Structure 1
């Protein structure tokens, strides 16, 4: 559940941060004109995948010829959109910490906390796979979509395992009470 929530929150944060830039982009306007559809949801989805270092596979015909075959909209735009790279990292750190804290694994070892935090993959990976099919832009025969193998490898596996585990470790150290190992002498009066 935490992984799925992290994915949805990450998408929403990406939407909130980038919708203005997307709608002002010339690439976006030409894609919408070529398809005749509102593509805001799909374009934000592609940006969210780009934030996981997953490029969009852009077939080289029609309007898509202007884009690289493996296009990353964040790198192409630069500037303030570069902050989008932090979105999946932060939501997965938070999700890993919440799962670890909620299951009280913080009382176990650091390894237990890391393994518990990485459980966010269970909810995150299925939504990543689904997103590769939902966030497509098809102005012709072929569609521009996130690269499936990189989506599964980076966005669906690497990111939740690594950053969920780090979030679990952060929760482990954040909730540990300082130990007082000194032995106190009884009062002698």
Structure 2
């Protein structure tokens, strides 16, 4: 029996759901823990933007930048005289480095759950099943990269699209989902 036959549509669906859940829960964790700090940081900018008739930056979008920064995806920030500066707000702020643990932890948990649904018996099968969380995480990461774009005139503040897709959307769920899936098969406990 091939690996595809053993994993099946149910496992792929579980991986997709697990990936979306890991993405949403990761964003919600960052939102809940960082909302007040982000709103405070945005007050001055939003007051100036309001004064000149611009749109204020919504906190939920800026929190999205932090969420992508927790995946080591830089935020592209346009400069007043042209050009773009790349920024990782998690790396440049004191006390936020714990956010780097959130996406991997949630993806490992999603990988464990997916491997359990797949009834993976070997670490190889567990890793393959766990990696299926990419089926949900990748589309969510791509959608989020566009959702968290903030227009500033003709420029935008946005997560870097290439690393949002390749690193946050593909590499993270493949690696950490596979680790969780392999661990699930080693932990046993299935009936």
Query: Quick check: 2:75–2:158 contact (8 Å CA) kept in 1?
Result: yes
Distance 1:29 1:141 in 2: 22
SS at the partner of 2:156? coil
Q: Runs of 4 or more off by more than 6 Å in structure 1?
A: none
Distance 2:78 2:57 in 1: 20
Distance 1:38 1:58 in 2: 13
SS at the partner of 1:92? helix
2:136 pairs with 1:141: no
| Structure 1: 5+ residue stretches without partners | 178-189
Residue 38 of structure 1: how far off its partner (Å): 4.9
Aligned length: 169
Which has the larger strand fraction?
2
Residue 37 of structure 1: how far off its partner (Å): 2.6
- In structure 1, the partner of 2:43 is 29
CA radius of gyration, larger in: 1
Q: TM-score, normalised by structure 1?
A: 0.83
Question: What CA deviation, in whole Å up to 9, does each residue of 1:114-159 have, x standing for no partner?
Answer: 0100000000001111111110122322111000111111100110
- In structure 1, the partner of 2:106 is 91
| Structure 2: 5+ residue stretches without partners | 1-16
Query: Quick check: 1:119–1:164 contact (8 Å CA) kept in 2?
Result: yes
Aligned-residue CA RMSD in angstroms?
Answer: 1.9
